[in-house]
Amino acid sequence: MTRQLTYETAIALDKQDSLASFREEFYLQDNQIYLDGNSLGLLSKRAEKTLHTLIDSWKTLGIDGWTEGNYPWFYLSESLGDKMAQLVGAFEDEVIVTGSTTTNLHQLVATFYKPAGKRTKILADELNFPSDIYALQSQIQQKGFDYQEHLVQVKSADGHTLKEEDIIEAMTDEIALILLPSVLYRSGQILDMKRLTEEARQRGIVIGFDLCHSIGSIPHELSEWGVDFAFWCTYKHLNGGPGSVGSLYVNRKHFGTAPGLAGWFSSKKEKQFDMEHTLTHAEDAGAFQMGTPHVLSLAPLIGSLELFHEAGIEQIRQKSLALTRFMKELMEQELKGEQFVFRNPDQDDRRGGHLYIEHPEAARICRALKDEGVIPDFRTPNGIRLAPVALYNSFEDVWNSVQILKRIMKEELYKKYENKRGVVA
């Protein structure tokens, strides 16, 4: 860092911010700086409005809401998939909004994990979110294999990041399927999805990505890269609300593949209510739905996605990078000697939408921050995640939050708290 950062620096950056007006779209609490959008995004006024619209359609239309009203429920997963496709660089029919992160992972692995001959193993990594690993273990067991032998997890050299070279080296002729995170949930490292997909394709291995920590924060080009499948949640950067419906992507080259886990919403729309006991599955991503859409949990996404289309994912990415860069430099300037260690890659093209900082007193520092009006995210054993979100955080937010943290450290306010996590970290 060569520049001296001041409060005036933050104000000047906010004046130059082309996305500043979107802050007014969100419910921001007085005397609070929300920096946990990588875990749960804030409610927008438009998401609230479309939720009420769907409730009204239930109130006034009853069962006719399935085919009538502003947003007919029967087609809602498909219409939202069309809107979501732009954020992941996909064709509209390759995306469906359905299920949850883990149920969608189960569906996709059940569909594409086809062990045969020497190819019986799944390749993952040791830093991925636990739910993904649990799902892979159970899918391997469902195929009659021992996951301790058939789940290969690439090691991390530093405990925080992964090297693409190590992943590629592990793509042996025993691997049937690869699942990796797009952005590591702890360190915020972005993996080179294009390179990894090319390497997998050269070896004839199906590859998919968990986009939970990248969707709505960074651009993707899934179709151009040739990614086989992907899935994600919608309650983090996409601001869909707690428990909002997840999404999945399946490349067009796999259209016509029967879903590994079938249900009546896997049907072609025109055949679904024929009530036949032989499934005629959809010929696009809709085939990988299972049950009835959770309409009221889909509703906020209608309004939320409007904001992303208006702002543009490229502009969101540029502001996100500027915010995290400013926060990192400011912490380095203001918190010298306080034992904070950054685990994010420094390069812009390798850093996702949040910072991951370690400190021996991380849990109690997070508790102190909350009591002082700054909402962080703690990750055991000693990690603090901070996510200044492009659509509703400002550079002034970043300045003020770092000054609050500086005071907490200087006055040792954190020492009045226990150094352990809460029920939900």
The answer to whether 129 and 181 are in contact (CB under 8 A) is yes
Contact 176, 160 (CB under 8 A): no
- DSSP secondary structure letter of residue 89: T
Residue 102 marked ligand-binding: yes
- Please give the Cα distance from 389 to 122 (Å, whole number): 34
Tokens 């496709």 appear where? 85
Q: Is 106 annotated as a binding residue?
A: no
**CA pair distance 240, 245, nearest whole angstrom:** 8
Question: Hey, how many other C-beta atoms are within 10 angstroms of the C-beta on 343?
Answer: 19
Compute, in degrees rounded to 10, the torsion defined by CA atoms 226, 228, 231, 236.
-20
Distance between CA 109 and CA 102 in Å, rounded?
A: 10
Going through 60-185 in order, the beta strands assigned E by DSSP cover 95-97, 121-125, 151-154, 175-181
Tell me whether residue 274 is exposed, middle or buried, using C-beta atoms within 10 angstroms of its C-beta: 0 to 12, 13 to 18, 19 or more: exposed
377 is in an annotated binding site: no
Q: Catalogue the E-assigned strands of 51-200.
A: 95-97, 121-125, 151-154, 175-181
d(CA 196, CA 74): 37
| Residue 213 annotated as part of some ligand binding site | yes
Q: Give kind and range of the element (H or E) at residue 249.
A: strand 247-250
Q: Is 111 annotated as a binding residue?
A: no
Q: What's the token pair of residue 55? A: 């409730």
> What does 368-405 look like in DSSP terms, one character per residue?
HHHHTTEE-EEETTTEEEEB--TTT--HHHHHHHHHHH
Annotated ligand binding at 210? The verdict is yes
Tokens representing 129 are 């979110």
Q: Where are the alpha helices (DSSP H) in 21-75?
A: 45-61
Q: How far is CA 402 from the centre of its chain?
A: 25
Q: Is 235 annotated as a binding residue?
A: yes
CA 377 vs. chain centroid, Å, equals: 15
Interior/surface letters 2-37, b for 16+ CB within 10 angstroms, e for the rest: eeebeeebbeebbeebebeebbebbebeeeebbbbb
Binding residues: 101-102, 129-132, 210, 213, 235, 264, 292
Binding residues for pyridoxal 5'-phosphate: 101-102, 129-132, 210, 213, 235, 264, 292
